[in-house]
Amino acid sequence: MTESPPKSARHRPSAALVLFLVFPLLGIAAAIIMAVNDPRITNAPPATPLAVTAAFKQLIDQPAPNFELASLDGKTVRLSSYRGRLVFLNFWATWCEPCQRELPAFAQFMAEQGGNGPVILAVNISDSPNQISAYYQEHGISDLPTLLDFELAVYEAYAIGQLPTTFVIDSGGVVRFRHIGEMTSTDLQAYTEGLNPAS
């Protein structure tokens, strides 16, 4: 008569099963750590969804996706028209508090640039033209190129996961950095000096 194995032995998972379950978890953890520690990503939050993280990382050091949007003043604007200039492509909305804080710095930065200097393109993703105009008038913001992404086509093309987000595009039209969160005057100057030393 053979003895039954002890209860503890019968319920203990095999080593192979443990390895099968642990290795995928280690892979996911490694992917998150690599995304968060990428030196080209400024202020990347640890909670960035993996799908969004993978999408925006494919943009870094690649040609910026071109687009055509209407501007707040009724013109049609193409990103490719700014080739030869450093571009800060900013995604924002009036209800976003960090966006509200950075807009005055953007307006001041644009007021200091020459005709061929760096440009900020502020892509609004949710407000009507009247809402934006009223907000600008109330807060004394002017001369900030503002584009209207009503259908969120550009928002999706750039895999935006959080507002504000700003892409820094060099004069050759290549995406060099993604900055998540509020941009300050110091940030703008640092990116400009780093990518446009003659400025």
Q: Is the CB of residue 61 less than 8 Å from the CB of residue 175?
A: yes
Question: Do the domain assignments include residue 191?
Answer: yes
Q: Are strands 175-180 and 68-71 parallel, antiparallel or unpaired?
A: unpaired
Domain count, the chain: 1
Which CATH number fits the domain that encloses residue 104? 3.40.30.10
Q: Give DSSP secondary structure letters for 56-98.
A: HHTTTTSBPPP-EEEETTS-EEEGGGGTTS-EEEEEE-TT-HH
| Helix/strand/coil (H/E/C) assignment for every residue in 113-139 | CCCCCCEEEEEECCCCHHHHHHHHHHH
Q: Is the CB of residue 168 less than 8 Å from the CB of residue 179?
A: yes
Write phi, then psi, for 166 (nearest 5 degrees). -125, 130
Question: Do the domain assignments include residue 24?
Answer: no
Question: What residues contact residue 27 under an 8 Å CB cut-off, 6+ apart?
Answer: none
pLDDT of residue 179: 95
Return per-residue pLDDT of the chain as tens, 199 residues.
444 444 444 455 555 544 445 455 555 555 444 443 443 333 333 334 444 445 556 899 999 999 999 999 999 999 999 999 999 999 999 999 999 999 999 999 999 987 789 999 999 999 999 999 999 999 999 989 999 999 999 999 999 999 999 999 999 999 999 999 999 999 999 999 998 765 4
Question: Do the domain assignments include residue 14?
Answer: no
Question: Do the domain assignments include residue 103?
Answer: yes
Which structural domain range is residue 75 located in? Answer: 41-195
Question: Do the domain assignments include residue 27?
Answer: no
Question: Do the domain assignments include residue 173?
Answer: yes
Question: Do the domain assignments include residue 116?
Answer: yes
